[in-house]
Structure 1
Amino acid sequence: MLLFLLGVLVLHIIILILLIVSTAASAWSVGGDSSTDLWYNCMTTNGGYHCKPAGNEDWIQAVQALMILSLLFCFFSLIAFVFQLFKLVKGGRFFFTAIFQILASVFVMCGAIIYTVMRPDDGAGTQFGYAYVLAWVAFPLCLISGLIYIVLRKKE
């Protein structure tokens, strides 16, 4: 049982790292000499690297908010898991942790879907970058982790 709890904790930390990298990395959309993330649009011109803030469109602000919310809920669920691990009565389930983790999963999914639908198509061969892929990888892992917390019971 101790190894299972350690595995769940490691999975949770991996998910948190994936969410941090996908939110902060500057590779949600890459192509040619430019890269775009949630915060900046960067271009390489004349040997220089120039960045300007992301637009003020509502959709990019929604994606930013959803990714930050997913990070916060994943972090809070990690704190709740550690707290419940020591304070939960024997035989109790980790429902509070599971709810936070599933909410984090839903926020990541919504943010990635909004970015997929609304991102501008520059037509210059832009592709989705690794940070976008990491967000989509974090979504099912986060959902699976939340479902594991629902089933998990505290034993002696």
Structure 2
Amino acid sequence: MLLILLGVLVMHLIILVLLIVSTAASAWSVGGDTTSDLWSSCVSNNKGYHCNSASNEDWIQAVQALMILSLLFCFFSLIAFVFQLFKLVKGGRFFFTAVFQILASLFVMCAAIIYTVMRPEDNRQFGYAYVLAWVAFPLSLISGLIYIVLRKKE
């Protein structure tokens, strides 16, 4: 049982790191000498990088908000797991942890879908931060389902 709890905790920490990197990294969309993320758009020229803030369009603000919410709910899920690990009665399930983790999963999925549909149609490709967001989605969903099944034992 200790190995299962340790494995779930490590998986949760990996998901949290993936969400932090995908939210903060500047590579949601790359192409040529231009990179853009949720917060800025940078162009490389012979003098270095020139960055502007992200557009004020509603869709990018929705993606920003959803990624921050997914990060917060993943963190709250981790705190709830540690709290329930010590306070939950024997045989109890980690429902609060599971609900927070599944909500984090849904938020990151919605953010990635909105970004996929609404990003400008140009010759840029999706960057690694976008891919990390999509990797974090199924991992956090699986983690949430594991928390639902997991029972506390002595």
Alignment TM class, shorter chain as reference: over 0.9
TM-score if structure 2 supplies the norm length? 0.99
The one-letter code sitting in structure 2 at the alignment partner of 1:57 is E
The one-letter code sitting in structure 1 at the alignment partner of 2:27 is A
Report the Cα offset of residue 47 of structure 1: 3.0
Aligned-partner SS, 2:51: strand
**Whole-angstrom distance in 2 between the partners of 1:2 and 1:46:** 55
Report the Cα offset of residue 45 of structure 1: 1.6
Matches within 5 A, 1:36-51: 36-51=36-51
Task: Output the aligned Cα RMSD.
Answer: 0.5
- Cross-structure match for 1:144: 142
- Does residue 128 (structure 1) correspond to residue 126 (structure 2)? The answer is yes
Matches within 5 A, 1:20-35: 20-35=20-35
Structure 1 unaligned runs (5+)?
none
**Whole-angstrom distance in 2 between the partners of 1:116 and 1:47:** 31
TM-score if structure 1 supplies the norm length? 0.98
- Residue by residue over 1:5-50, the C-alpha shift from the partner in whole angstroms, topping out at 9 and shown as x without a partner, is 0000000000000000000000000000000000000000223200
**Whole-angstrom distance in 2 between the partners of 1:46 and 1:17:** 33
Aligned-partner SS, 1:90: coil
**Stretches of 4+ moved more than 2 A in 1?**
none
Report the Cα offset of residue 106 of structure 1: 0.1
**Whole-angstrom distance in 1 between the partners of 2:117 and 2:10:** 32
- Residue by residue over 1:64-86, the C-alpha shift from the partner in whole angstroms, topping out at 9 and shown as x without a partner, is 00000000000000000000000
Aligned-partner SS, 2:11: helix
- Cross-structure match for 1:109: 109
- Cross-structure match for 1:77: 77
Count of aligned positions: 154
Structure 2 unaligned runs (5+)?
none
**Whole-angstrom distance in 2 between the partners of 1:140 and 1:47:** 41
**Whole-angstrom distance in 1 between the partners of 2:50 and 2:121:** 20
Matches within 5 A, 1:1-20: 1-20=1-20
